[in-house]
Amino acid sequence: MYAIPKAIMRRWLFWSTVPWLLPQALWVKRRTPRFAAPAGAERGHVDVAGSSSARLRLLGLGDSIIAGVGAQAAEECLTARLAQQIEALGFDILLCPDTQNLSPDPFAQLALAAQTTTRLKLGTGVTNPVTRDVAVTACALATLQAESQGRVICGIGRGDSSAAHIGIRNGTTAQLRTFVQRLQAYTRGETIDRDGTPSRLRWFDSLKVDPVIVDVACTGPQTIAMAVDVGDRVSFAVGSAPERIRWAMDVALARLKETGRPRESLRIGAYVNLVCDPDEQRAINLGRMISGMVAHFAGMKDAPLDHLPEKLKTLAAHMQSGYDMKHHAQEEGQHLQVVPDDFVDWFSICGPPAKCRARLGELIDMGLDHVYQLGGSPVPHPHGARQAAMVEQARLFATEVIPHFR
């Protein structure tokens, strides 16, 4: 009996199927929806930028259903468009969270925003000392600082959801202090000692840009004191209740007096939970997620609760064991079921413009140099639609509240 070699059999099987497969392939090619092809030539020669003589041979090969995927210009990207809107509304800064499992990369987003804005400050809200090495974070910030012509602010805290979602612990206050000091040194162009290895951002030497401003987000008394010691700015994340801001300000001012640091050398601000909406109940409903999240910050892990007012202490204690980290910063969090309306109204600023102006003015009169709005979104998912709706939700605040404080 004659055996057909396997190689010949494979060739025969392949060519025998071609008459059936080829028409199907051509049909799929004609019918499959495609993105628009990229603009410009796909073959020939193109001039090389910056050279009067050099030319580059260009040949585009292949045929893909995703040909041309992506934006043709930065202005077409969602983040860039939203940044333009935020700048046009009169806001001073855009903050992007650094929590890799829940949000897009902040440095990529901020780089896009830098391309389509001219005045808007660009910041992380917030990064941390545990998910990236300090040299890596410093390099990203320095790159953004150079590309944006000095508009960068590094918001940084101990870490929370970014650490929890990869199974590591938050940074300690001591770790955060060291990280901030090294970050400042790197972006000043200094050489620092990394366990016996001299380390600096060598590529940054020739650039004439200011060091990156470091703004330390803080919740408890130890972190506030540390932030006063080493930060360029300090921003409280303690809620929007007047007694909470007053307490944090007292801790910061006491530390300034203790160390002898001049008050004018440090900008002091706060992350303010604020939803401006003509319908007060709707504003409270939108503010519930932010209120629960910031209450969780007050009781993170095994943080002491003795300094908290009773109204917050009970809820913070619950958050230490009952916080739904899987739905951090999302409206579906199970922990939000124990956040009542009266707590939201006390801990956050939620309501029409007149109420927002009065409550926010009370906080600013305590000596705050800046405030960051933590707002709400009526659209929970997907991420892009949520962000766009959040910007639209802030429009009333921008037109009816911000001008009052200019």
* Two structure tokens written together for 405: 């404080």
Q: Is the pLDDT of residue 262 over 50?
A: yes
Asked if residue 69 is part of any domain, the answer here is no
Span 267-285, mean pLDDT? 96
Q: Determine the pLDDT at residue 67.
A: 46
The string of pLDDT tens digits covering residues 198-244 is 999 999 888 888 999 999 999 999 999 999 999 999 999 999 999 99
Q: Is the pLDDT of residue 30 over 90?
A: no
Span 381-405, mean pLDDT? 92
Q: Quick one: angle between helices 134-147 and 173-187, nearest 10?
A: 40
Asked if residue 374 is part of any domain, the answer here is yes
Which CATH number goes with the domain that contains 101? 3.20.20.30
pLDDT bucket at 93, cuts 50 / 70 / 90? very high
State the chain's maximal CA–CA distance in angstroms: 101
Q: Determine the pLDDT at residue 208.
A: 85
Q: Is the pLDDT of residue 301 over 70?
A: no
Phi, psi (rounded to 5 degrees) for 32: -70, 125
What gap in Å lies between CA 243 and CA 278, rounded to an integer?
A: 26
Q: Is the pLDDT of residue 171 over 70?
A: yes
Asked if residue 401 is part of any domain, the answer here is yes
pLDDT bucket at 95, cuts 50 / 70 / 90? very high
Span 302-329, mean pLDDT? 73
Q: Is the pLDDT of residue 300 over 70?
A: no
* Two structure tokens written together for 240: 């929007």
The three-class DSSP label of residue 199 is strand
User: Cα–Cα distances in Å, from 113 out to 19, 106, 182, 187?
Assistant: 52, 10, 26, 21
Q: What is the 3-state secondary structure (H, E, C) of 351-380?
A: ECHHHHHHHHHHHHCCCCCEEEEECCCCCC
What gap in Å lies between CA 159 and CA 55, rounded to an integer?
A: 49
Task: Report the candidate in 160, 168, 140 with the shortest Cα–Cα distance to residue 152.
Answer: 140
**Cα dihedral across residues 135, 141, 143, 146: positive or negative:** negative
Span 126-150, mean pLDDT? 97
What gap in Å lies between CA 274 and CA 371, rounded to an integer?
A: 10
* Residue span of the structural domain in which 286 resides: 77-405
Q: Determine the pLDDT at residue 44.
A: 65
Asked if residue 7 is part of any domain, the answer here is no
Q: Determine the pLDDT at residue 403.
A: 96
- Hey, what amino acid is at 272? V
Radius of gyration of the chain from Cα atoms?
A: 27
DSSP state of 276: E
Task: Report the candidate in 269, 284, 282 with the shortest Cα–Cα distance to residue 349.
Answer: 284
What gap in Å lies between CA 296 and CA 330, rounded to an integer?
A: 13
Look at 36 and 128; give whichever has higher pLDDT. Answer: 128
Span 112-133, mean pLDDT? 97
Count of domains observed in the chain: 1
Helix (H) or strand (E) holding 194: strand 192-194
Q: List the beta bridge partners of residue 192.
A: 199
The three-class DSSP label of residue 215 is strand
129, 179 Cβ separation under 8 angstroms: yes
149: region left, alpha or beta (phi > 0 left; psi from -120 to 50 alpha): left
380, 390 Cβ separation under 8 angstroms: no
The string of pLDDT tens digits covering residues 38-85 is 566 655 665 655 555 555 555 544 444 444 445 667 777 889 999 999
pLDDT bucket at 365, cuts 50 / 70 / 90? very high
Lowest mean pLDDT among 140-154, 282-296, 318-332, 390-404: 318-332
Work out the mean pLDDT of the chain and round it to a whole number. Answer: 87
Asked if residue 304 is part of any domain, the answer here is yes
Q: List the beta bridge partners of residue 214.
A: 154
Q: Is the pLDDT of residue 383 over 90?
A: no
